[in-house]
Amino acid sequence: MCDELFDDMSNNSCFDKNATLVINHEAIVSNVRYLKESTGSKLIAVVKENGYGLGVANLYNIIKDEDIFMYAVTSPCEAVALRREGCKTDILMLTPISDYSELLLMVTHNVVIALGNEKQIPELKAIYGLTGKRPRVHIQIDSGLGRYGFNVDDMPNFKHLTDYLSFEGCFTHLAGSATNYKKSVDRQVQVFEQAISRIKAMGVEPGVCHISNSKAALTFGSLGYDAIRVGSALLGKSSVKSGLREAVWLESKVFSVYNRQEGEHIGYSGEASLKRDSSLAVVRVGTGCGIGLIQKGAMDFSLCSIIRNMIRRIKEDPVLSVWINGRQSPVIGRIGVSHMTVDVTECPAKEGDIVKVQVNPLLVHPYVKRLVI
């Protein structure tokens, strides 16, 4: 029996994660339909980072029959994986790659390429010379994110490239703002409009234009453009209140239940002190599965932030809550790599009960089983 457990393992791949990432097929389909109906727009489904951690094949096969306008990826392997799954729909490579072999691979698989810097141009010309086929591109504009794309005041004359390239679209990625989101979006739309006007003045039609990511699509719709480009919203992950459904979570089981007395300290460094006699449950999952690693945003070392964190520690606010038997219970103490402790005093639990944890699937360990239900 013990030998059988190791049949599919190497000495360097010994993981037993005691958890399953559950993917709700119906909820994802519902989210796709909600996004299309609420915005009245074509949908570009972003399946980057291995389908946001779900598995690119899993996510594709869930939504492939939902009239997706395009798929979008950030690495060549994701584009190839979609083609191997039988995807005939257009795929957009969002990263402005300039490596000749990667560009040739994308052209070979009929993938639309983000044209965002001049280093790509000689490589794409060379590919045209080799294949006789004009690479398909969407012009990428930097409207404020400062990561990829042409600056509106420093674009090449695209008209001179029409013999070599097929211009089919234009897009930008919104940077957003922590203070005034609408004002930030309005400013970036103005930059994007300037870019479109200059492209048209060159004698080039910009084609399909898209700017709205998940947050913008849920807040402003398509902003008057041809398509929305969403990823996390497909999974029901958004800070914007909407009709999206939760589509992915982590499941494990209660490993053991035990009682502790008022005043006892729990967990690493004794961070949690019990205020009453308590019933506690151990669950064999932790940071090694991706729990408790959700990115909260930029580090804030301001005095207000420090005071808020001090108050949270004094109040001993739970770092996380989980659901057991449909009821919410707080995690207490510091989450370990492979274990965490849950206070089940008010929501009795027993060994073997299912534990449901909200997670960012991007952070879930790749050895955690993915289950589509």
Q: Are strands 340-343 and 278-283 parallel, antiparallel or unpaired?
A: antiparallel
299: Cβ contacts below 8 Å, ≥ 6 apart: none
CB burial class (10 A; 0-12, 13-18, 19+) of residue 82? Answer: buried
At position 118, the amino acid (one-letter code) is E
In the chain the domains, ranked by start, together with CATH numbers, are 25-235 (3.20.20.10), 248-372 (2.40.37.10)
Q: What confidence tens digit (pLDDT) does each residue in 59-109 have?
A: 999 999 999 999 999 999 999 999 999 999 999 999 999 999 999 999 999
pLDDT category at 368 given cuts 50, 70, 90 is very high
Could you read off the pLDDT of 97-109 as tens digits, one per residue? 999 999 999 999 9
Please name which of 202, 132, 194 lies closest in space to residue 167, comparing C-alpha atoms: 202
Supply the pLDDT for residue 312.
53
pLDDT mean across residues, the chain: 90
Q: Binning pLDDT at 50, 70 and 90, where does residue 10 land?
A: low
Which two structure tokens, joined as six digits, stand for 322?
């989980």
Residues 126-176: tens digit of each pLDDT: 999 999 999 999 999 999 888 899 999 999 999 999 999 999 999 999 987
Question: What is the reported pLDDT for 322?
Answer: 95
Pick from 178, 169, 238, 221: nearest CA to 199 = 169
pLDDT, tens digit, for every residue of 219-242? 999 999 999 999 999 999 988 889
pTM: 0.87
Residue 6 has pLDDT above 60, yes or no: no
The more confident residue out of 12 and 246 is 246
Q: Is the pLDDT of residue 5 over 60?
A: no
Q: What is the mean pLDDT of residues 276-284?
A: 93
